[in-house]
Each structure stands twice: as structure tokens, then as C-alpha cells.
Structure 1
């Protein structure tokens, strides 16, 4: 079920990248981190809002760059295997693509990246976007 709240920056959610995907865009239903500020992520009238997200991948990059930010398994309950934030695949998505991460026994995570890890993703985004 799509989220019915305005996600805060750093929140880890599930994003359905298969909706209207065009190759070679990232695909699958996968975890992603919200990188836009909450003020940008608001709803649009009665319809869903939108936000900028960076997807996570459990596949190691072929040739890692500073835009591939590693996360060790277990640091976050929602990242259960080694993953990389793929900053080159940043995307503006509708809240309709986003759901909370199910963690078992009827529970969903409200987990967010800590400030240090969010800063690492910011640095990855600077590299991916060519910002100094």
C-alpha cells in the first residue's frame, strides 16, 4: 500500500521502480532513501506527493565510484545484506511508488539513515551530479 504520509529526508522506504520503467533505468522493487527535504515532499492537493530518492542495490558495482556509497549488512534493520546507494540513479518519484519496509510480525520500519550516513549519500550525489 502506498505511503499516506510525507516522508522526511533520510527515510528508508521501498520504491517500485518497475512502474513505467524505461531501459536502462534502474528496475525492481527495492529499498531507497529519501534525499529531498520534507518541505519538497508535500502532497499535491488530494493526490500523492513526490520526492527525490536514491535506490539501494545489493549487487556490487563493477567499478565503484564515489557515487556508489556502501552500507554494511546489519547497520540498519532494513538493510539486511551489504548494499550500495546508487547515487547516479537518483529519481523524482510519486508517493504512489513508495511503501514502508515490512520487518515482520505485522511491523513496518520507520527507520532513517543517521546524519553521518546521509552525509555520505550527499557526497555521492555531488559526485554523480558533477557538483564541486
Structure 2
């Protein structure tokens, strides 16, 4: 189960890397605008994956040792997404001649909240780990 969840998170991180690099290299502000909603989804994935790990620990389906590795991976993925967000914000701010990152991140969620939420909801549905089959169901579908 953890491997499936990590794959979803890795896919989200790969997409945010591509979006932020394309935005930066090509001054593509549409792609830059999509980075922050995806970064928010990745932040939430981090919380969900950690909660799922605790459930597996409590059920005796995982070990504390593997949990350390999982926690490191999840945290590192989330940090990568934070860096991508910073890159996208700076790409937009350079074009606007403004350099207050925290103000921008607040404003982007408030100014065009409908658009932000639409993009966020698309990414949230795309990277929804709650719809992954549980291990037993997964094994049954493979047979």
C-alpha cells in the first residue's frame, strides 16, 4: 500500500517539477500559476501518507524502521514541491517586478479563488490516494 501511495506522490512531484521548470525556462505564467495548487495537494498527500502509515503500524502491517524511510521520502518529496513553488512564484514576480513571495502566495489564493480552486480540485482528484485499492483488493485484482 505504501508503495502505491509513494508512486502517486512521486507522480505529483514529477508533474510539479515539469510545470515549474517549463514555467521558468519559457516564462510560461499559465504553468507557473498551476504550481501552487499542486504544491498544496502535495502538502496534503504528505499528511495523508503519514496518517496511513500510522494506521499500518497500529494494524501490525508495517515496521517502525520502514516508517523512518517512508517519512524521509515523503518529507523530501514535499520539500521538492516547496522549491518548485518558490521557483514558480519568482518567475511570476520577476515579470511583475514584485518580490514579496508570502504576499503573492496569499494573494493568489484570494484574488482568483475560483480559478485556484478549480486547478486545485483537478490535481486533488488526479492524485487521490484514498481511491487506491488496499493490498488485499490489489492482490485479488492481479490474480
TM-score, with length taken from structure 2? 0.25
Bigger-Rg structure (1/2): 2
User: More strand per residue: 1 or 2?
Assistant: 1
TM-score, scaled to structure 1: 0.27
Structure in which a larger fraction of residues adopt helix: 2
Q: Which has the higher contact order (CA 8 A, sep 6+)?
A: 2
